Structure 1
Amino acid sequence: MSAPGGRHLAAAESLTVTDLRHRNRSAALQFIIRERETTRADVARHCGLSTAAVANIVTELMAAGLVAENGSRASRGGRPIAIIGPRRDGAYAVGADVGERGVAVELFDLGLNLVDREFRGGAHQETPEDIHRDLREAIAALRERNADRWPRVLGIGLGLPGVVETSPDGTQTLFAQSLGWEPHGIPTDLAGDLPVFAENGAKTQARAELWFGAARGTAHALVALLGRGVGLGVVNDGELAHGAFSSATEWGHTKIRFDGEPCRCGDRGCVEAYVGADAILGAWRAAGGVFEGSGWTALGALLDAADGGDPVASRVVDGAIDALGAALGSMVNLVNPQRIVVGGWVGLRLMERRTDAVLAATRARSLRRLADQFDLVPATFGGDTVALGSALMPIEQLIAQGRAVDEAIDARTVG
């Protein structure tokens, strides 16, 4: 006669074993995708699993079409060691860099290699309705060109200009105060029933740098995005900080000068009002600078003029770097990073020409002890960074849901 509750105890034990299996498989898949090339032994060491367990997991992931062997390397006197990595055509994800003047939508394979891209929009500021249309059209164009791949697309990630808030039921809303937009629900009808994930563009850049770029392997980092808008991703214990409602680290609207220059958000003295592209070029124009455009070329002309000895241009560049140093230095004092990564098209321009000056200005505004504990580097990725980080969101969802990986394995095996 069985003891009372024995059946329930057995079910609980079975559930625990199943959950452990899901967790181990997800951990192994995440490591393989992040590494891009690795070995079964490395997976075992990283995940704390036995070689036998990893051998079974890799066999299952290969049967699912998510992992593949890609050659081998010599061992010390034994059999060659197989190199494994994500199977490129095993799954795909769409990532979109959504700006105030248009969208760049990109298709990536499971190894996070760029497969195709589509642009929509123009030079003028768009409305949320314009962007919704642009996204639908760009995604439709990608789908048409990649019809054979499309059944294996996991979802769509959006990197957006503003605060992206996630409610307890998973509904997401964009609050783009700086652009003068009313709160706008994140569209879920971009491509049939494909799931849509959204996050602030600075955080998606930080995600890309954390997985594959300059923040990789760093437990505590700041990843700054400098463009027309200014944003920041904070990496704490190897994870991105999100806050209570997913909208933490709106660094561009922290204050570096009480009652200072007006900001697009409606307040004054914000970081963006001093180091955003419009602020820097506006300061040059107000000081008598003459140039064309408002983007990469115009900022290059400013830096060229400063390098050429133009005193007005030099003052503008020095002022922007001082403001950036104050803004980053405050964050150094607040979170004590090991590394600061500077990206975005304005950030990359400054790092090309003024890395030492940006580092000196940041250290000057940091407490001396903390100033000695970080390094400052340019972002690894250029224009594709926000889209790449956005595409990681559907892939992270696949990894996080162990049962979803099980379903993929079952579907591929049965198919």
Structure 2
Amino acid sequence: MSLEPGSGRLPLTLPEVSTVTTLRQRNRALALKHVILAQETTRAAIAEETGLSAASAANLVTDLIAAGLVEERGSISSHGGRPITLIGPRTESAITIGADIGERGVAVEMFDLAMNRIDREFRGGVTEEAPERIGADLREALEALRERNAGRWPTLLGIGLGLPGVVETAPDGTQILYAQSLGWPPVPVASLCAAGRIPVLAENGAKMAARAEHWFGNARGASHALITLLGRGVGLGIVSGGRLLFGARSSAGEWGHMVIERGGRPCRCGNRGCVESYLGSDAILSAWRAAGGVFEGTGWRAVGKLISDAHAGDRAAVAIVDDVVDCLGAALGGLVNLAGPERIVIGGWVGLRLMESLGERIAEATRRHSLSRPGGQFELLVAKFGGDAVATGSALLPLEALIAADPMSREVAGR
């Protein structure tokens, strides 16, 4: 059974189930996901969300309490009737780990069952590293987290990895990373992280950021959305019908390498004229430097200076910012025509910088470059999650695996 990130309301169009046992497992999964998404809910809300009777919903809650996954959290007034008991995730029952992995290092974060971050560890982050060094960074970060959280480590659900490229999963479960834009050879995920009996699950980092926004961020509640990740690289998550799109081999969403100008600027992937070669941070800052811009670094402050200089009337900066806004509008406008989103969420550190003061201009440029009807039907929002978006979304992978399986099949420590 596959349960893609929901939208506040759970997707109830699941594969047909053939036995009472599998039906009950499916309903427990829906109930658990609702509790985690809602953070606090009631038995009546679970019944409404799952389409079950009040008695059936109460039985599911009893099962999940017995499994140690949810708990009662006091009560609220029922406007004259009996108090209504609140239900929430039992936060101490399990932990999950998500890692944001790039060519310059790793950021690894640990969360409880309610997706509250409880610890984090960084390695690298200065210069580009080979896959072998990235794997060493990841192992060192995980070991540091394990040492600091030894008492909770036995409750670890698994480790999710957000990776910089296409991640394919073979029928036997083996996963391979194809990071063409980094010049890496195909990398077995197990060579980056082999954790023994602890499950390790991997996906593209931009999809993981989209997962975080769709579960808990500004794409929540949208059945059709585009969630962008603008940083040194450019990525995209596409939500259609309430589900994150993966494509036939999990490559859906490689928007950064969609050609928008034939024979245009060279891109790291080897092609020319890709979105990333105009909207990635290196591309933006290189264009500014070539136009006479003077700045330090290649990160947050440099892009911020570009935008502030443009607002101050610097001609070179104004020209670069105008080009970035128009290019982003053109790239998004094509996606609007293709996907018909109700919501576009701009994320990634470059995206957050742009949205600080240029959101209205980006929305206008997107509508100018799309058909008038779909162009008038979307809402443009800044991402809720900042630098921890990929790690947060990656940590949802083991949590989804628990939800999609029978929650009752897992023993939870401390019950």
Deviations 1:77-115 (A, max 9, x none): 111111111111111100001111110000000000000
- Give the Å deviation of 1:164: 0.9
The SS at the match of 2:196 is coil
> 1:208-223 counterparts in 2 under 5 A?
208-223=212-227
Alpha-carbon distance in 1 for matches of 2:18, 2:227 = 40
Aligned Cα RMSD in Å? Answer: 1.4
1:228 alignment partner, one of 232, 237, 241: 232
One-letter code of the match for 1:88? T
| Structure 1 pair 70–241 and aligned structure 2 pair: CA distance change class (3 A) | same
The SS at the match of 2:190 is coil
The SS at the match of 1:242 is coil
2:60 alignment partner, one of 57, 61, 64: 57
Alpha-carbon distance in 2 for matches of 1:212, 1:107 = 16
2:37 pairs with 1:37: no
One-letter code of the match for 2:25? H
The SS at the match of 1:222 is strand
Alpha-carbon distance in 1 for matches of 2:98, 2:194 = 12
Deviations 1:282-324 (A, max 9, x none): 1001111111110001111111111111010011111111111
Alpha-carbon distance in 1 for matches of 2:213, 2:296 = 32
2:27 pairs with 1:24: yes
- Give the Å deviation of 1:192: 3.0
> 1:270-289 counterparts in 2 under 5 A?
270-289=274-293
The SS at the match of 2:19 is helix
8 A Cα contact 1:232 1:249, kept in partner: yes
Alpha-carbon distance in 2 for matches of 1:185, 1:414 = 35
One-letter code of the match for 1:192? G
One-letter code of the match for 2:126? A
8 A Cα contact 1:64 1:413, kept in partner: no
| Structure 1 pair 15–363 and aligned structure 2 pair: CA distance change class (3 A) | closer
Would you identify which runs of 4 or more consecutive aligned residues in structure 1 move more than 4 Å? Answer: 412-415
Map of 2:296 onto structure 1: 292
8 A Cα contact 1:63 1:413, kept in partner: no
2:207 alignment partner, one of 203, 210, 224: 203
> 1:68-147 counterparts in 2 under 5 A?
68-147=71-150
8 A Cα contact 2:155 2:412, kept in partner: no
Alpha-carbon distance in 1 for matches of 2:249, 2:47 = 35
> 1:251-270 counterparts in 2 under 5 A?
251-270=255-274
Alpha-carbon distance in 2 for matches of 1:370, 1:299 = 31
Deviations 1:306-350 (A, max 9, x none): 111101001111111111111100000001000000000000000
8 A Cα contact 2:63 2:408, kept in partner: no
8 A Cα contact 1:329 1:362, kept in partner: yes
One-letter code of the match for 1:337? P
Map of 1:4 onto structure 2: none
Alpha-carbon distance in 1 for matches of 2:300, 2:133 = 24
Alpha-carbon distance in 2 for matches of 1:227, 1:46 = 37
Map of 1:161 onto structure 2: 164
| Structure 1 pair 266–24 and aligned structure 2 pair: CA distance change class (3 A) | same
8 A Cα contact 1:135 1:190, kept in partner: no
Alpha-carbon distance in 2 for matches of 1:15, 1:369 = 43
Deviations 1:343-385 (A, max 9, x none): 0000000001100111011010000011011010000111111
2:391 pairs with 1:406: no
The SS at the match of 1:187 is helix
Map of 2:4 onto structure 1: none
| Structure 1 pair 76–297 and aligned structure 2 pair: CA distance change class (3 A) | same
How many residue pairs get aligned? The number is 398
Alpha-carbon distance in 1 for matches of 2:27, 2:281 = 45
2:254 alignment partner, one of 242, 250, 254: 250
One-letter code of the match for 1:332? V
Question: Which protein, 1 or 2, shows the higher relative CO under an 8 Å CA cutoff with sep ≥ 6?
Answer: 2
- Give the Å deviation of 1:122: 2.8
Q: TM-score, normalised by structure 2?
A: 0.94
Map of 1:3 onto structure 2: none
One-letter code of the match for 1:358? I
8 A Cα contact 1:140 1:191, kept in partner: no
Gap runs ≥5 in structure 2: 1-16
8 A Cα contact 2:225 2:240, kept in partner: yes
Map of 2:324 onto structure 1: 320
Alpha-carbon distance in 2 for matches of 1:218, 1:56 = 30
2:354 alignment partner, one of 350, 370, 395: 350
| Structure 1 pair 332–141 and aligned structure 2 pair: CA distance change class (3 A) | same
Gap runs ≥5 in structure 1: 1-13
Alpha-carbon distance in 2 for matches of 1:251, 1:397 = 27
Alpha-carbon distance in 2 for matches of 1:145, 1:226 = 33
2:155 alignment partner, one of 152, 156, 162: 152
Map of 1:359 onto structure 2: 363
Map of 2:7 onto structure 1: none
Which structure is larger by alpha-carbon Rg, 1 or 2? 1
Alpha-carbon distance in 2 for matches of 1:124, 1:302 = 23
- Give the Å deviation of 1:56: 1.2
8 A Cα contact 1:132 1:187, kept in partner: no
> 1:169-180 counterparts in 2 under 5 A?
169-180=172-183
| Structure 1 pair 413–296 and aligned structure 2 pair: CA distance change class (3 A) | closer
8 A Cα contact 2:93 2:413, kept in partner: no
